[in-house]
Amino acid sequence: MAESRHLGDIILKVDHISLSFGGVNALADISFQVRKGEILAIIGPNGAGKSSMLNVINGVYHPQKGTVTYKGETRHHMPPHRAAELGIGRTFQNIALFKGMSVLDNIKTGRSLKIKSNFLMNALWFGPARREELEHRQKVEEIIDFLRLEDIRRTPVGMLPYGLQKRVELGRALAAEPELLLLDEPMAGMNIEEKQAMCRFALDVNDEFGTTVVLIEHDMGVVMDISDRVVVLDYGKKIADGTPDEVRQNPEVINAYLGVSH
Amino acid sequence: MFYRETGQYKTNYGADEQIFPIRQDRIGVMIILAFAYLAVPFIGDDYWFSAILIPFLILSLAAIGLNLLTGYAGQLSLGSAGFMAVGAFAAYNFMLRIEGMPFLLGFILAGLSAAAVGIVFGLPSLRVKGFYLAAATLASQFFIEWVLTKFPWFTNNSASGVITAQKMVLFGYAFDTPMSRYLLTLVIVTLLALAAKNLVRTRTGRDWMAIRDMDVAAEVIGIPMLKTKLLAFAISSFYLGVAGALWAYCYLGTVEPQAFELTRSMQLLFMIIIGGMGTIVGAFFGAAFIVLLPIFLNLFTSTIFAGQVDPGMLSHLEQLVFGGMIIFFLIVEPLGLARLWQLGKQKLRLWPFPH
Ligand SMILES: Nc1ncnc2c1ncn2[C@@H]1O[C@H](COP(=O)(O)OP(=O)(O)OP(=O)(O)O)[C@@H](O)[C@H]1O
Ligand SMILES: [Mg+2]
């Protein structure tokens, strides 16, 4: 797969990132790069530091050492809202939807940054406020169609089954039209059909919009199928970085990760 | 049969993004407004205007204000009456000290003053949440009361601390009858309630609900925490400030800082809990419950037990029943009257077919 795809320049570079919580070293001197248009998987056993890595990339965690370079802008710490402004989208390992809101409103909220009208215009529902809401509704409906959420757009997300909630969360991230999409275990806890659908969505987004995807996944079948490259973490250290085939044959990886049954 | 969306196919998103997308809701609102504007002025008497309808409307407005902050933005506040006090005393001082200040402008300035104070007392919300924030807002309640009683400037050196609202005159017309005050209050409350409805169904409201429901996710989406929270404090306090000014000018006429004590803040909190957190219509339900129920209870007990039971005993009984009903409601329908209303409408949507 990797050979047949054309990958662009480096869009994201993490350099020598170290992050610890008290005595726990969640990440130790991690460096890797992501090219534009690439699908990169981060794998590793539980507690390896995968989620922490995503949290560093979009500024939720502050690393003690190292830098993140995104689209040429190097920062020691990137504030989360700045990451959003620069086009980094994100889903969470534990669903982080807005529970009290409908599917439609959750996805609309994903576009908040793109809506310019201020509260006065909103309160009066005049001119730009109305026009903007309608324009964005159009975009949101495209996402709803794409993710096949038409029948549940009015449903409060708290009432949806787990698999659909994950899908809505992807929708919310896509609503911002991100250039880099960080997915934290998007398929965890799903049945095989839901997983296939989710894989399809990730591949389509990557294919159609050229969105770069960094995803964390435990299902090795999925990882081997859809990713161009794999970074393997273990106890906060990077132990491998390469194509799925290279990684599969790496003895250290077999030892640390694939060896243990999941 | 009567309340049904079927057949109302929306052919564009504009129709679906109206303030009341369902036709029956639109008609319902029209009927209520027509009744309030055209019928009530003729059938109501002075007692109804002054003692029931005006306080009901003003408290509804205040409850909307609190609901924007607590129900929508998720910031618990125990200091709402403090912001009403700011509004009342700001309106008084603006009209007192600025020659020829039109009273409507005075009300707007009252709201803006409350908003400014609200922003200051909203600052702790950036650091603390839940009970700790509640404690901070409680401090604002006491601080505002203290300032207004401590510095006689605010009450224009009135010995008793009581201020008397100036006359309200607009283009030579004086709002001096209960009916005219009712209509004035009604216009202001209608406009601000519709504005609130617009706020909560657009980006502003979605951002508030986002930080209420999951603040980390909201931040990652790019919703600015500081700005969004402080905006909620500002707008909520604006509503409370205008409500406070109305309380002084359209309801009481003379007012002292004690009219805006902690009890009032708690009352407003009850209203939004009983009416329905995070709904605009719930503010009206909650206010109606708190204002009207005691009156009905009183009417009820005084007709049934008239002359047979000691009146002091009766008023205790009423309070007991009132308290009991609040608890009953919280247990049976924790999401409030607005939720019951919504469920009722859903039933109607299917009626007469059971499924
Ligand atoms: N906010 C935090 N506070 C304290 N410790 C944390 C925090 N976040 C992560 N850690 C610790 O950092 C280490 C790495 O956690 P992380 O969640 O990144 O692992 P992970 O690879 O995503 O694991 P999993 O597969 O279970 O999701 C763990 O030891 C975890 O306990
Ligand atoms: Mg994780």
State residue A258's pLDDT score: 54
State residue B1's pLDDT score: 45
Closest C-alpha residue for ligand 1 atom 17: A51
| pLDDT above 60: residue A252 | yes
Neighbours of B102 (CB within 10 A): 14
Nearest CA in chain A to B194: A123
pLDDT in tens, B171-221: 888 888 999 999 999 999 999 999 999 999 999 999 999 999 999 999 999
A39 domain residue, yes or no: yes
State residue B315's pLDDT score: 76
- From residue B56, give the alpha-carbon distance in Å to each of A183, B186, B246: 50, 10, 12
Average pLDDT, chain B: 88
pLDDT in tens, B148-177: 998 989 888 888 888 888 888 888 888 889
Nearest CA in chain B to A92: B217
How far apart (Å, rounded) are the C-alpha atoms in residues A248 and B318? 76
How confident is the model over B277-290, as a mean pLDDT? 93
How confident is the model over B89-103, as a mean pLDDT? 92
Domain boundaries, chain B: 43-265
Average pLDDT, chain A: 91
- From residue B320, give the alpha-carbon distance in Å to each of B108, B308, B315: 39, 19, 9
Residue listed under structure tokens 């605009």:
B280
The mean-pLDDT minimum among A257-261, B151-155, B278-282 falls in A257-261
Amino acid sitting at position B234: A
Instruction: Please tell me what DSSP assigns to residue A42.
Output: E
| pLDDT above 80: residue A110 | yes
How confident is the model over B96-100, as a mean pLDDT? 88
Q: What is the CATH number of the domain that holds A67?
A: 3.40.50.300
Least Cα distance to B82 among B271, B274, B259 occurs for B259
| pLDDT above 90: residue B301 | no
pLDDT in tens, A123-159: 998 878 888 899 999 999 999 999 999 999 999 999 9
Using pLDDT thresholds of 50, 70 and 90, give the confidence band for residue B53. Answer: very high
State residue A246's pLDDT score: 92
Q: What percentage of residues in chain A have a pLDDT greater than 70?
A: 95
A106 domain residue, yes or no: no
Closest partner CB to B210 (pick from A98, A125, A134): A98
A242 burial class (0-12, 13-18, 19+ CB within 10 angstroms)? middle
How confident is the model over B120-126, as a mean pLDDT? 91
What are B292's two structure tokens? 């009207």
Chain B residues whose beta carbon lies within 8 Å of the beta carbon of residue A83: 220
pLDDT in tens, B28-43: 899 999 999 999 999 9
A47 lines ligand 1 (CB under 6 A): yes
State residue B316's pLDDT score: 81
C-alpha distance from A85 to closest chain B C-alpha (Å): 7
How far apart (Å, rounded) are the C-alpha atoms in residues B191 and A211? 45
Q: What percentage of residues in chain B have a pLDDT greater than 90?
A: 55
Residue contact A98–B278, C-beta within 8 A: no
Using the mean position of ligand 1's atoms as its centre, give its distance from the Cα of residue A204 in Å. Answer: 30
State residue A2's pLDDT score: 46
Using pLDDT thresholds of 50, 70 and 90, give the confidence band for residue B352. Answer: low
Cβ(B277)–Cβ(B67) under 8 Å?
A: yes
State the residue range of the domain holding A183: 10-87+178-258
C-alpha distance across the termini of chain B, in Å: 13
Using pLDDT thresholds of 50, 70 and 90, give the confidence band for residue A253. Answer: confident
State residue A199's pLDDT score: 94
| pLDDT above 60: residue A259 | no
State residue B323's pLDDT score: 82
Chain A residues whose beta carbon lies within 8 Å of the beta carbon of residue B14: 134
